Chain A
Amino acid sequence: MKSYKDTLVYKQAEFSMGLSLLYTLIIGFASFDFSPFAIRPFILILAGINGLVTAVQALLVLKIRKDSNKSLVINSTSRQLAGVLLISLLAGNLFIVLSSLYLLKNKVSTGYIYSVYMVLTDFLVIGVSALNLFKAYVTNTFIPFMFLLLFILIFHIVVLVGYNRFAAMSGIVKKVFLLFFAATVLVGNLFVLFVIISMIQKTDNETTMTRRKGIREKIIRNQASMIGMLFIVFLVAISICSYWTFNYGFAVTNDYSSILQPPSLTYPFGTDNFGRDVFSRIVFGARISLTVGVLATVIPLIFGGALGAVSGYYGRHTDNLIMRFLDILYAIPGILLAITIVAAFGASTTNLIIALSVGYIPSYARTMRANVIQVTNLEYVEASRAIGNNHTNIIRKHVIPNSLAPMIVRATLTIGSAIIATSSLSYLGLGVENYIPEWGNILRTGSEYLETEPHLAIYPGLAIIALVLSFNFLGDGLRDATDPRLS
């Protein structure tokens, strides 16, 4: 018998409480200046509110625990309390909002959960973009685009509140609605896609209740990886929206009247030695880190995967030949191979991507080969061969689809290390060209002012960690979701 403690909603409430506590502590810590000792009143108040909200959330969790015996019971008082807690959105505490939205719903479905994350992403994008209001001026497209974002936000909230009703629609109405809804993915909010898939699947498979759950449905049970996904989707969305809401000039134009400014509302992360706004630079850098990270993962995934599949399927001499060649490539540490390639062909983003990709090919090939060898010995491949399928068809239709899951997990985990490698090489001056605002480049500038302006080095570093950590969380979650032993 499953206890109420294993239910998704209860686990989320506890998890949110913990995260909220952590968030409060970090803000509280940030509200003090240690040398010389001073208090930042505004941030302290914020920390106080968050502390209060966390305490209420703790009470709520206790109450639910008391109410529930075997199965989860959320009575109307709990619901009202959760409703009140939605105010914590104003204090920037998204974790509590997340848990409240779960608690408010009678029956929490996969699509509903994804819509919650979709709305949270909208809030984050609008919140971060709104910081531009404190700048001296904004881009021409800022105001219309912000209105568009607000409109999309309201639309998404409507979808969230009436999720069951929208999902239950059918026929042409639903098609038109989904088309309209799908258009909002253009601002980069990838959660919209998941919601749409959930809505379509619901109508298709309503009768088959016991069907096997897909990865998309399993991963929602892992809160940490959902938070990771939230951050990744947020960065994708902000990378796209920053084309219209952020002024590229602040990130690259020298402004000698305001060099090395401390963090303020105008310059949330301060300015560097050329007077460039570090916050804008970090926002524009997300784009490059994501692109390089994803490309340096997809290219070796394709090449390494193909080599591994061929070598694992055909075995013997083909296998020997390919794997011995890859052994050679594997003997050179990735970063040194990248340095060699950059030394030969010069430092540029394209060379960097090629260099990193080549270094990752052997490990992908090894993973793929191991999977393919396992799959090739299974009965259905033998059966396919027996009915006269040729090798190419067997590899394409049976072997590759069935050995892809570990590759995807590996790819997610590798994106993180590719991002670290990119910024490390940029830090050494071997990566992305140094005039482009890339996180490693920002850090390189910041490291020169470590003694006097440490925040210049701290914030870009935190951005890198947050992104890599998100991919690692997501990768761990995907691994658990695809592991047949755990389901």
Chain B
Amino acid sequence: MIILPLNTDVSVFKGFFCTYDANEKYILNKENGGMEMKVETIIKQDQNFFQMVSRQYGKAFLSPYYRIGLLIFGLPFQLLILIVFLYKKYVKKQNGKINSEAKEALIQIGYDQKLKAKLKKQEENKQAFFNKLLNEKETNKNVERLFSTQFQQAVNEKAQEIYEQSNREKVTFLGQSLAFILNPKYFVLSAVLGFPMYVLLVIHSFPFMKYLFERLLMMLFVILGVTIIVFTLLYFSPSDPARNIIGETATQAQVDNFRAMYGLDDPYIVQLWRTIKGVFTFDLGNAYSGNQAVVSTIMRRFPVTLELSVFALIIALIVALPAGIYSAVKANTMFDHVFMFIALIGLSIPSFWQGLIFILGFSIELGWLPATYNADNFASLIMPAVVLGTLLMASVARMTRSSTLEVVNEDYILTARSKGLSNRRVMLRHAVPNALIPIVTIIGLQFGGVLGGAAVTEQVFNINGIGNYIVERQFIPDIPSVLGGVIYIAIVLSVVNVFIDMLYAFIDPRIRTNLKRY
């Protein structure tokens, strides 16, 4: 790998680069007069392993969050570098007095006076324009403020120039780290000292992995936040759990015993920490009533809800996608109008009422399907799944129609048609795949509604799922059970959302390309 020194005269290369390589970066620097160009180009064939690692390190070090990560994960190694860096800078004084040299040089050519005069003029013009004349002192204060920042900037630029002219490198912390990594002997040392740092570096160097990693971190943060919010809400409940569970007639000793048993006497922070730990270790203690472990009850009931939700999702997609696409193909016909009206009704129907009507129609009047859920009977899952999936079905159908209609007006569809492709092929091969992004988005957004809506649907069809559990428990109110149920549903939802974000990259090549640049 060759990194061309930043200030080489590249006019020779310019033509070459412009013709053959579209990926290089030109940084136009008009300030320093003329068309001096800085080019950073990497020629991949010549990279050896260490150079590759050091380049990745340099890249990762640029982003503040990864810098913190690198510093923490490679702490022993970083400390070593810090010592060497401090030694070079302050003991050997390798940086010398370039900054003060630069400052003197600027003052010598009268740059500071010129800048000051320019800023003063600017400030006066500004005051005249806004008709807000300030007194001398304030004007000078404003000018001084602007001057100090701009002059410092100029000094830094000048210093950089001097470094480059004298072919010396400024001793920096990053530069020192890179020098260590480039040297095989020191590299082995750094790998021993800061192994986790290199794991982070590997994650950072693969765009997709980096994206996934950041997304997962985000998810952890969200789960933590959800736990804190839900716990805080329930903590500040005005009702006293002890009195609720063991009754108003309980003696003070019984109440104290109850409170001690569930740790209700502990301060807020202690209880919160216990809950957070419990969420991640799957141990939220026992429920207030029934004396069962909360998490084991939730784990027993979750599969039912998940099965129901996934089945609802599948039914919704099977119906909505073809219908939405067909509606878009036949836009503004009778079928389109009728179907979109049905979809709008689907959006407007309360799921519990739809469930009741289904039971009335299909179970009581016609006797086709069982009215309540039974794990052994697959047919009993059909009605709840349709009811739960209706909202999703309606929104996906509407979204499919509108996004397909939008895509149909694009130029590439015209191209496809002019190539002589059949209408069917244009639609299925060119229009629909491109219309898929908003559809996936709406599925992701609505899946939360499906999981939440399960609470109502399960109540109507008497299904022993997690939603039913939360509703039952909140009447007591059994705080740990409600807390656990809500938090674990939120966690499942976060995982689904991460999955959907990953899905984008698979269905849209544009996003894949963006990810690589990311």
Contacts and interface: CB of A to CB of B under 8 A. Distances in A.
Interface of A: 324-325, 327-329, 331-337, 339-346, 388, 416, 420, 423-424, 427-430, 443, 447, 450-451, 454, 457-458, 461, 464-465, 468-469, 472-473, 476
B500 interface: no
Contacts of B475: 429
Contacts of B359: 450
Given A336-B489, A443-B353, A345 B238 contact: yes
A344 B364 contact: no
A186 B470 CA distance: 44
B486 A340 contact: yes
B294 interface: no
Given A331-B222, A335-B455, A339-B474, A450 B233 contact: no
B452 A336 contact: yes
A423 B349 CA distance: 11
Given A331-B226, A343-B234, A465-B345, A450 B364 contact: yes
A450 B486 contact: no
Contacts of B360: 450, 454, 457
Contacts of B218: 327
A339 B237 CA distance: 13
Given A424-B352, A427-B459, 20 more contacts: A333-B449, A333-B453, A334-B448, A336-B451, A336-B470, A340-B474, A343-B474, A344-B234, A416-B347, A420-B348, A420-B350, A423-B352, A424-B351, A458-B357, A461-B350, A464-B350, A465-B345, A465-B350, A469-B344, A472-B347
B193 interface: no
B490 interface: yes
A450 B451 contact: no
Considering the complex of A and B, which 8 residue pairs feature the smallest CB-CB distances, nearest first?
A333-B452, A328-B225, A461-B353, A344-B237, A343-B474, A468-B348, A335-B452, A469-B348
B239 interface: yes
Contact of B226 (A332, A341, A429): A332
B438 to A, nearest CB: 14
A167 to B, nearest CB: 35
A457 B494 contact: no
Contacts of A465: 345, 348-350, 353
Interface in B359-382: 359-360, 364
Given A324-B221, A430-B471, A339 B353 contact: no
B13 interface: no
Contact of A333 (B222, B364, B448): B448
Given A335-B453, A335-B455, A344 B352 contact: no
Interface in B321-353: 344-345, 347-353
Given A332-B490, A335-B453, A339-B474, A443 B352 contact: yes
A465 B342 CA distance: 12
B236 interface: yes
Nearest to A464: B350
B242 interface: no
Nearest to A329: B229
A428 B490 contact: no
Residue among B356, B477, B479 facing the most chain A CB atoms (10 A cut-off)? B356
25 contacts: A327-B218, A328-B225, A331-B223, A331-B448, A331-B494, A331-B497, A332-B486, A333-B490, A333-B493, A335-B453, A339-B470, A339-B471, A342-B474, A343-B477, A343-B479, A345-B238, A416-B348, A424-B456, A427-B350, A428-B455, A450-B356, A454-B360, A458-B357, A465-B349, A472-B347
B20 interface: no
A465 B347 CA distance: 9
A contacts with B: majority SS: helix
Residue among B226, B347, B353, B364 facing the most chain A CB atoms (10 A cut-off)? B353
A472 B341 CA distance: 11
B contacts with A: majority SS: helix
Nearest to B489: A336
Contacts of B483: 340
Contacts of B357: 457-458, 461
Contacts of A450: 356, 359-360, 364
A225 to B, nearest CB: 11
A335 B351 CA distance: 13
Contacts of A423: 350, 352
Interface residues of B, number: 52
Interface in B237-255: 237-239
A340 B455 contact: no
Residue among B348, B360, B449 facing the most chain A CB atoms (10 A cut-off)? B348
Contacts of B347: 416, 468, 472
B426 interface: no
A297 B460 CA distance: 27
Residue among A328, A427, A450, A476 facing the most chain B CB atoms (10 A cut-off)? A328
Nearest to B474: A343
B280 interface: no
B482 interface: yes
A304 B229 CA distance: 18
B16 interface: no
B130 interface: yes
B497 to A, nearest CB: 8
B310 to A, nearest CB: 16
A339 B352 contact: no
A340 B228 CA distance: 13
A332 B229 contact: yes
A325 B226 CA distance: 10
A461 B357 CA distance: 9
B230 interface: yes
B225 A325 contact: yes
Given A342-B474, A429-B475, A336 B455 contact: yes
Contacts of B345: 465, 469
B217 to A, nearest CB: 12
Contacts of B485: 336
Interface in B461-518: 470-471, 474-475, 477, 479, 482-483, 485-486, 489-490, 493-494, 497
A472 B340 CA distance: 12
Contact of B490 (A331, A342, A472): A331
Nearest to B236: A344
B267 to A, nearest CB: 19
Nearest to B485: A336
Contacts of B455: 335-336, 339, 428
Nearest to A461: B353
Contacts of A331: 222-223, 225-226, 448, 490, 493-494, 497
